[in-house]
């Protein structure tokens, strides 16, 4: 068992951004992806003043802070099922004055409870379908692609996958739309470590037209990439996909979808 109550500390990132963080190294990595590479803003994805964003798999809130800074009066609905990570998310939303509704739950095809594998030293790979060996292989590939010698990567990985099993709440996206009386979603961002298709399964037919843009991290195992692309195309989106160069050799891809102008 790991320590699920690992304390958060405030960290100053390379551009001066202050964030409460559970693990400094992963916060710096995600900051580079979200703020540096703008990994969710590819293939024409963008926000306008007053837009509504659903941030599914918000983690500690780096993506939410990024979206908040992209325009005036951005309204964010952020979802994070893991209690210690949710507390860090809440602290960061308060720190940056983000206009956010926070939900301590995951999204899925139906509501309920499910076991969640939490890695206190590696929160971004935690999830409802996480398996330490698979996540270890993925992270090692990222590290080697980044220039780490394989043996050094193995040494660094040694302590990152101590795990805690938590029981976390699941709800559906359409349930939230009904409850919050949401009239539009200008960006649906999903990064949920193998739960992305379940999140999409929780959108009822009548709610798809509310969604203008989608950015999803997709796991391509078992045809996941093609299934996501086909689903979004069937709902009227123009769809593109790409793989981060650092993810070369893994099953991780980004899928971007937007309504034709």
Q: Phi/psi at 118 (nearest 5 deg)?
A: -110, 125
Q: For residue 1, is it within any domain?
A: no
> Over its length of 261 residues, how does the chain's per-residue pLDDT go in tens digits?
445 566 899 999 999 999 999 999 999 999 999 999 999 999 999 999 999 999 999 999 999 999 999 999 999 999 999 999 999 999 999 999 999 999 999 999 999 999 999 999 999 999 999 888 889 999 999 999 989 899 988 888 878 899 999 999 999 999 999 999 999 999 999 999 999 999 999 999 999 999 999 999 999 988 999 999 999 999 999 999 999 998 999 999 999 999 998
**Residue with tokens 């900051």, as numbered in its chain:** 31
pTM: 0.95
User: Which of 59, 61, 82, 60 lies closest to 4 in space, CA to CA?
Assistant: 82
Place of tokens 């009239």: 183
Exposure letters 212-246 (e unless 16+ CB within 10 A, then b)? bbbbbbbbbeeebbeebbebbeebebebebebbeb
In a domain, 2, yes or no: no
What domain range is 15 assigned to? 9-258
Position 131 in a domain: yes
Task: Tell me which residue of 174, 176, 199 sits closest to 107, measured CA to CA.
Answer: 199
**Residue 72 domain flag:** yes
Domain CATH for 106: 3.40.50.150
User: What CA–CA distance (Å, rounded) separates 107 from 79?
Assistant: 8
Within a domain: 150: yes
- The whole-angstrom separation of Cα 141 and Cα 134 is 11
3 in a structural domain: no
Residue 54 lies in a domain: yes
**What is the total count of domains within the chain?**
1
Within a domain: 4: no
């Amino acid at each position: 068992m790991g320590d699920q109550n690992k304390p958060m500390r405030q960290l100053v990132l390379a551009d001066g951004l202050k964030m409460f963080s559970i693990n400094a190294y992963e916060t710096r990595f995600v900051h580079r992806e979200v703020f540096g590479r703008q990994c969710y803003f590819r293939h024409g994805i963008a926000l306008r003043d007053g837009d509504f964003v659903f941030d599914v798999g918000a983690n500690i809130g780096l993506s939410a802070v990024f979206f908040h800074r992209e325009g005036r009066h951005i309204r964010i609905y952020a979802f994070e099922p893991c209690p210690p990570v949710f507390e860090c998310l809440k602290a960061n939303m308060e720190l940056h004055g983000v206009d956010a509704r926070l939900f301590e739950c995951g999204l899925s095809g139906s509501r309920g409870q499910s076991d969640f594998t939490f890695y206190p030293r590696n929160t971004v790979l935690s999830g409802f379908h996480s398996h330490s060996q698979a996540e270890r292989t993925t992270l090692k590939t990222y590290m080697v692609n980044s220039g780490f010698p394989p043996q050094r990567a193995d040494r660094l990985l040694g302590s990152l996958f101590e795990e805690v099993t938590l029981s976390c709440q699941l709800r559906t996206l359409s349930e939230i739309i009904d409850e919050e009386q949401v009239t539009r979603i200008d960006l649906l961002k999903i990064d949920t470590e193998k739960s992305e298709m379940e999140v999409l399964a929780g959108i009822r037919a009548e709610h798809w037209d509310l969604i203008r843009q989608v950015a999803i991290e997709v796991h391509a195992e078992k045809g996941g990439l093609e299934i996501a692309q086909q689903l979004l195309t069937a709902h009227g989106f123009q769809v593109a996909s790409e793989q981060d160069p650092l993810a070369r050799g893994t099953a991780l891809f980004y899928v971007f979808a937007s309504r034709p102008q």
